[in-house]
Amino acid sequence: MMVTDASHKLIPMTTFVIEYYSNEGYADLQTLNLMNNYANFLKHPLTLGMFVPVDADGNVLKEPKNYTSWNSLEHNKKKTNNISDSMGFEEYRIYQKAEQKCFFEGFTVAYNGYSVVRIVASYDESIELSFNKTDLKPQTFKDVESLTVFDEIYLSATALKTIGIHKNK
């Protein structure tokens, strides 16, 4: 899914503070809390599961067949498990739950080898990250803040919720 709303891009902390103050002009407790949340978000160590759905061991999950169609159905978008997993949709629910944990949108697996997983942003293939399968850590970047060198990395609804930004629908 390609996101175009600039307010949901990953940006450096200084830009976040300056942009917020240029719009609000003052800092109340809610504003300071939001800035604290964003600063803490930037310090999160990177994991592969922030970009693509992974299982409990950090292994990349394969997207189930026809998942996009299944996930587009309104009754499947809910986070509840009202539909019995015995109906053959357990694989879809597991993938959906892992997908909902991702902090960044639009990343796909470009290479999944024996020792390395390489992912790219579907909207800009020059944004590429590699993760070592032994320790599941990125090879180049260490935390969310280190990704602010890229012009376009889009935050998911999960990331926005973690920061305390409420997405307008």
Q: What is the full per-residue pLDDT of the chain (169 aa) written as tens digits?
A: 333 344 589 999 988 888 777 776 666 788 888 889 999 999 999 999 999 999 999 999 998 887 777 766 666 666 544 444 446 678 888 888 999 999 999 999 999 999 999 999 999 999 999 999 988 889 899 999 999 999 999 999 999 999 998 765 4
Is 67 part of any domain?
A: yes
Is 39 part of any domain?
A: no
The pLDDT tens digits of the residues spanning 72-100 come to: 666 666 654 444 444 667 888 888 899 99
Is 156 part of any domain?
A: no
Is 5 part of any domain?
A: no
On whether the pTM is more than 0.85, the answer is no
Is 161 part of any domain?
A: no
Q: Which structural domain range is residue 132 located in? A: 48-142
Calpha distance 162→158 (Å, rounded): 6
DSSP string, 2-31: ----GGGB---HHHHHHHHHHHH-S--HHH
In sequence order, the β-bridge partners of residue 129 are 119
Is 66 part of any domain?
A: yes
What size, in residues, is the chain? 169
- Indicate if the alpha-carbon torsion angle 162, 146, 153, 100 is positive or negative: negative
Is 132 part of any domain?
A: yes
For 125, the enclosing helix (H) or strand (E) is strand 124-132
Is 11 part of any domain?
A: no
Number of domains in the chain: 1
